């Protein structure tokens, strides 16, 4: 991902400056609720509605991967710690976030 200032705001909006093919940079945002959810305490769409203590680290561990962590409610009301490596399915291409090969619409500022 050719980006800088990677961060999560409001617990579910991924924001970054992403480079374009012409060398310029654009501000990009992606609502992670559209692509990640909570199914019985595991990340699946609309995860932030049943999550707490949402944390994002753009450079997690020795591999420096963007990791999203949260406590997610399961069907019994218990909170489960879970994390997801966003780099596995999310890329930045020519100023856009691309999730599983599909370009995602920009989120309003």
| Ranges of each domain in the chain | 3-100
Question: How many Cβ atoms sit within 10 Å of the Cβ of residue 77?
Answer: 7
pLDDT (0 to 100) of residue 88 = 78
Handedness of CA 50, 86, 7, 99 (dihedral sign): negative
Handedness of CA 56, 58, 63, 67 (dihedral sign): positive
pLDDT top residue among 73 and 100: 73
pLDDT-derived band of residue 41, with 50, 70 and 90 as boundaries? confident
> Domain 3-100 classified CATH 3.30.70.20?
no
Question: How many Cβ atoms sit within 10 Å of the Cβ of residue 100?
Answer: 10
What pLDDT, in 10s, does the model give residues 46-90? Answer: 788 888 998 888 777 666 778 888 999 999 999 999 888 888 778
Please name every residue paired with 26 in a beta bridge, in sequence order, or none if there are none. 18
pLDDT (0 to 100) of residue 76 = 94
- Alpha carbon separation from 99 to 38, 52, 81, 93 (Å, rounded): 18, 24, 23, 10
Q: How many residues does the chain have?
A: 109
pLDDT above 90 covers what percent of the chain?
16
pLDDT top residue among 94 and 72: 72
As a whole number of angstroms, the distance between CA 14 and CA 96 comes to: 12
């Amino acid at each position: 991902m050719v980006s800088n200032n990677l961060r999560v705001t409001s617990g579910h909006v991924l924001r970054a400056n992403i480079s374009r093919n012409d060398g310029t940079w654009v501000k990009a945002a992606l609502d992670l609720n559209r692509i990640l959810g909570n199914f019985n305490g595991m990340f699946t769409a609309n995860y932030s509605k049943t999550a707490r203590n949402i944390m994002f680290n753009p450079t997690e561990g020795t591999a420096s991967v963007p990791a999203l962590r949260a406590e997610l409610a399961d069907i019994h009301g218990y909170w489960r710690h879970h994390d997801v490596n966003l780099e596995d399915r999310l890329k930045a291409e020519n100023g856009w976030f691309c999730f599983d090969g599909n370009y995602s619409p920009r989120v309003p500022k």
